[in-house]
C-alpha cells in the first residue's frame, strides 16, 4: 500500500541551493557581529540605500571581482542580502 501526501502545491524548499544560502547566512552573521542583530531593519531610507548597495556588489561582480575585499565573502551573497532586505520592506 502506498501512502498519500498532498504537497504538490506547497513551496519546494528542497529546490534551494544550500551552498548559496550558506553564503548569504555568512554575510548576515558578519553583519550581526559588525553592527547588531537585525540592524538592517533600522537603517533609514532602507530601500534606496540597499538598492544602491546591491548594485555596487553586482557591478563589481560583473566586472570580475567575485569576493568582497572587506569581508572576504561573495559579492553575490552580499547582493542577495540587500535584495532580501528590500523584499522584507516591500511585503
Q: What is the pLDDT of residue 26?
A: 98
pLDDT(7) > 90 = no
Q: CA 26, 52, 90: angle at the middle one, nearest 5? A: 80
How do residues 24-57 score in pLDDT, each as one tens digit? 999 999 999 999 999 999 999 999 999 999 999 9
H-state helical runs in the chain: 18-34, 46-62, 75-90
* Residue ranges of domains in the chain: 20-90
59 conformational bin, left if phi > 0, alpha if psi -120 to 50, beta if neither: alpha
How do residues 79-91 score in pLDDT, each as one tens digit? 999 999 999 978 6
Cα-based distances in Å from 4 to 1, 9, 12, 14: 10, 14, 17, 19
The answer to whether 43 and 22 have CB atoms below 8 angstroms apart is: no
C-alpha cell at 71: 569581508
Q: What is the pLDDT of residue 91?
A: 65
Amino acid at each position: 500500500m502506498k501512502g498519500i501526501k498532498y504537497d504538490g502545491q506547497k513551496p519546494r524548499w528542497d529546490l534551494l541551493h544550500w551552498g548559496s544560502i550558506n553564503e548569504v547566512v555568512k554575510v548576515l552573521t558578519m553583519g550581526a557581529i559588525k553592527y547588531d542583530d537585525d540592524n538592517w531593519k533600522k537603517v533609514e531610507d532602507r530601500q534606496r540605500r540597499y538598492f544602491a548597495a546591491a548594485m555596487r556588489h553586482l557591478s563589481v561582480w560583473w566586472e570580475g571581482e567575485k569576493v568582497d575585499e572587506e569581508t572576504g565573502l561573495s559579492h553575490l551573497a552580499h547582493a542577495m542580502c540587500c535584495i532580501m532586505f528590500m523584499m522584507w520592506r516591500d511585503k
